[in-house]
């Protein structure tokens, strides 16, 4: 039986469903299972299989307490025609490398891969004998991308509701409209007077408010939960596209079964690249996983020195989804790489909390570096890469993908090992920055920028993004930080 416990202790014994419903362990650790890697995914027959079939094999290995029919139902609903390519995550040949496009979902960012299926998982986690009327309300503070992907995933999902807070005036025009025009009877969006950290801190306080939890449960049958990327249910769907990339390389006869592949991943919270590590443990021949950071290069310093130090200036860059100083999912990698040393993990995380830094033993660092490479790009390099990739390959990349593209181009090339760069957002999510990089007009609205970009490159903006200009705005509420609890309670009462 596969059970889950915290990265910081082995006392818990939860099923996958319980771990998904709960989100984070009581001691602050992340849920992991020691069964990971005991059953492998068969790579001999990957070529030619649809994404949905590969997803079934992978998710079946990772979440064994979901029934076959349950899993198939979740997969069919999550990876259907809301994706603009039937391969879901298509692989494109770009120059000497390959780009895995993870942005073909409804919100044009890679977070759709996980957030289209998490609500379907969540709806199937109601405990037997529990309150059958109980609704899970997802609460999220967002700096941009996560909020919209979560809204799109949870909109009208049975048994769930969602409230998203974003910092007023601190997200782009497209990002704000993506959220405020969201349809669905169970969604709520509210701007907050403050910055992202203020909103995030307030959300954490709301989660810790036991009296509020009792009122919500007693009066409205509502339990709060998080769609944060530390939830196992958000992590495991991302393992699938590593196998899908391998399947597509096999199909193109770039590799034979068993050949090794390298992945270069634009990294923030370490969820995307950690999924690559899980794929390797499930039997995928992964030679190296390359962490690509932006100017917030805390992971680069960690992987080169063994010291993780969050006490450093924070840079707001043109790749905002990678502007992170504490990469939460790193804790899971440290757990597995240290052979499940919960005492070490507890100590490191205490050091991080108390001193803002920790240092891993040298032997552990050596093991990590054997698999994980790293690099980073500053903003000028990112702009340069967007231009360079377009000029050389006639392929437009967004600023996040450009960090990874830069890191890939800097690495020595091993002609025997294909390289796959993960593309995490559509360039049309960041049309102003992309236009500036390409020397195009960037003076109008985001929508004018999209049109200029389309005209100049012969590419087509995703309809959902271009259509935002005329979409109806449903939410215009603004709350003070102190008022956020009331917003949550009213939303729960209105369900
Ligand atoms: C969230 C995000 C990332 C970072 O992914 P992690 O899993 O947090 O490492 C990179 N690019 C884009 C566009 C994102 O939205």
CATH code of the domain containing 430 = 3.40.50.1100
Dihedral sign from CA coordinates of 169, 175, 176, 177: positive
331 lies in the same domain as 288: yes
| Tally of domains in the chain | 2
Nearest CA owner, ligand 1 atom 15: 321
Task: Ligand 1, residue 400: give the atom nearest the CA.
Answer: 11
Task: Check if 170 is active-site.
Answer: no
DSSP label at residue 49: -
333 lies in the same domain as 393: yes
488 lies in the same domain as 356: no
pLDDT attached to residue 195: 84
Task: Kindly list the distances between the CA atom of residue 37 and the CA atoms of 99, 138, 262, 282, 336, in Å, as whole numbers in the listed order.
Answer: 27, 30, 19, 5, 11
Tell me the C-alpha distance between 30 and 151, whole Å: 24
Tell me the C-alpha distance between 17 and 443, whole Å: 49
**Is there an atom of ligand 1 within 6 Å of 270 CB?**
yes
**Is there an atom of ligand 1 within 6 Å of 266 CB?**
yes
User: Is 357 part of a structural domain of the chain?
Assistant: yes
Distance 223 CA to ligand 1 centre (A): 27
User: Is 56 part of a structural domain of the chain?
Assistant: no
Residue 136's domain comprises 117-228+466-495
176 lies in the same domain as 244: no
Task: Ligand 1, residue 270: give the atom nearest the CA.
Answer: 9
pTM of the model: 0.95
Nearest CA owner, ligand 1 atom 11: 424
Rg of the Cα atoms in the chain:
22
Q: What are the tokens at 146?
A: 């996560």
Distance 238 CA to ligand 1 centre (A): 12
* Angle at which helices 196-207 and 484-493 cross, to 10°: 60
Q: What residues in the chain have per-residue pLDDT under 70?
A: none
User: Is 278 part of a structural domain of the chain?
Assistant: yes
pLDDT tens string 348-374: 999 999 999 999 999 999 999 999 999
DSSP label at residue 415: T
Tell me the C-alpha distance between 332 and 435, whole Å: 38
**Is there an atom of ligand 1 within 6 Å of 229 CB?**
yes
Task: Ligand 1, residue 111: give the atom nearest the CA.
Answer: 15
DSSP label at residue 182: -
Phi, psi of 244, deg, nearest 5: -65, -40
Residues 6+ away with beta carbon under 8 Å from 38:
none
**Is there an atom of ligand 1 within 6 Å of 263 CB?**
no
CB atoms within 10 A of CB 268: 24
DSSP label at residue 469: G
Q: What are the tokens at 67?
A: 């029934």
Strands 372-376 and 286-293: parallel
256 lies in the same domain as 304: yes
Tokens 């760069």 found at = 421
Distance 65 CA to ligand 1 centre (A): 28
Of these residues, 17, 22, 111, 135, which one is catalytic?
111
**Is there an atom of ligand 1 within 6 Å of 143 CB?**
no
User: Is 389 part of a structural domain of the chain?
Assistant: yes
pLDDT attached to residue 127: 77
pLDDT tens string 82-118: 999 999 999 999 999 999 999 999 999 999 999 999 9
Distance 57 CA to ligand 1 centre (A): 25
289 lies in the same domain as 378: yes
DSSP H helical ranges for 171-319: 173-180, 196-207, 210-220, 232-235, 239-251, 271-281, 298-305
Write out the H or E segment, with its range, that includes residue 101: strand 97-101
277 lies in the same domain as 407: yes
Tell me the C-alpha distance between 265 and 359, whole Å: 24
User: Is 309 part of a structural domain of the chain?
Assistant: yes
DSSP per position, 328-394: TTHHHHHHHHTTS-HHHHHHHHHHHHHHSEEE--HHHHHHHHHHEEEEE--HHHHHHHHHHHHHHHS
461 lies in the same domain as 471: no
User: Is 29 part of a structural domain of the chain?
Assistant: no
User: Is 135 part of a structural domain of the chain?
Assistant: yes
Tell me the C-alpha distance between 293 and 289, whole Å: 13
* DSSP-based three-state secondary structure for 107: coil
pLDDT attached to residue 24: 86
175 lies in the same domain as 244: no
């Amino acid at each position: 039986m596969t059970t889950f416990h915290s990265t910081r202790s082995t006392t818990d014994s939860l099923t996958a469903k319980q771990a998904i419903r709960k989100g984070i362990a009581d001691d602050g650790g992340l849920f992991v299972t020691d069964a990971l890697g005991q059953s492998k995914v068969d790579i001999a027959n990957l070529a030619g299989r649809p994404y949905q079939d590969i997803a079934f094999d992978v998710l079946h290995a990772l979440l064994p307490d979901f029934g076959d029919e349950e899993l198939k139902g979740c997969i069919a609903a999550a990876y259907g025609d809301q994706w603009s390519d039937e391969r879901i995550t298509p692989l494109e040949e770009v120059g000497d490398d390959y780009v895995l496009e993870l942005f073909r979902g409804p919100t044009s960012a890679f977070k759709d891969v996980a957030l289209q299926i998490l609500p379907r998982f969540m709806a199937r986690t109601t405990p037997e004998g529990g309150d059958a009327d109980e609704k899970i309300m997802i609460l999220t503070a967002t700096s941009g991308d996560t909020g919209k992907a979560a809204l799109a995933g949870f909109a009208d999902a049975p048994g769930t509701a969602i409230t998203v807070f974003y910092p007023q005036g601190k997200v782009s025009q497209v990002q704000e409209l993506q959220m405020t025009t969201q349809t669905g009877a169970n969604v709520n969006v509210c701007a907050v007077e403050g910055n992202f950290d203020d909103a995030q801190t307030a959300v954490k306080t709301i989660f810790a408010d036991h009296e509020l939890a009792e009122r919500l449960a007693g009066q409205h049958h509502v339990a709060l939960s998080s769609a944060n990327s530390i939830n196992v249910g958000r992590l495991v769907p991302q393992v699938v596209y590593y196998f899908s990339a391998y399947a597509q390389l096999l199909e193109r006869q770039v590799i034979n079964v068993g050949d090794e592949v390298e992945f270069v991943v634009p990294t923030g919270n370490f969820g995307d690249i950690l999924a690559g590590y899980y794929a390797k443990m499930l039997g995928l021949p992964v030679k190296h996983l390359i962490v690509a950071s932006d100017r917030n290069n805390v992971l680069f310093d960690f992987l080169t020195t063994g010291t993780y130090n969050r006490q450093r200036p924070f840079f707001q860059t043109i790749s905002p989804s990678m502007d992170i100083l504490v990469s939460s999912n790193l804790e899971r990698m440290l757990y597995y790489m240290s052979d499940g040393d919960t005492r070490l993990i507890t100590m490191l995380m205490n050091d991080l909390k108390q001193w803002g830094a920790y240092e891993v033993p040298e032997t552990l660092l050596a093991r990590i570096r054997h698999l994980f490479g790293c690099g980073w790009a500053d903003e000028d390099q990112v702009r340069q890469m967007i231009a360079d990739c377009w000029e050389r390959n006639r392929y437009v990349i967004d600023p996040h993908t450009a960090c990874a593209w830069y890191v890939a181009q800097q690495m020595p090339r091993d002609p025997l090992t294909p390289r796959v760069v993960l593309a995490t957002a559509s360039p049309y999510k960041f049309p102003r920055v992309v236009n500036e990089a390409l020397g195009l007009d960037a003076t109008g609205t985001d929508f004018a920028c999209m049109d200029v970009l389309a005209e100049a490159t012969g590419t087509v903006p995703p309809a959902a993004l271009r259509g935002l200009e005329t979409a109806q705005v449903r939410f215009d509420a603004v709350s003070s930080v102190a008022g956020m609890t009331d917003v949550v309670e009213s939303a729960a009462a209105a369900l």
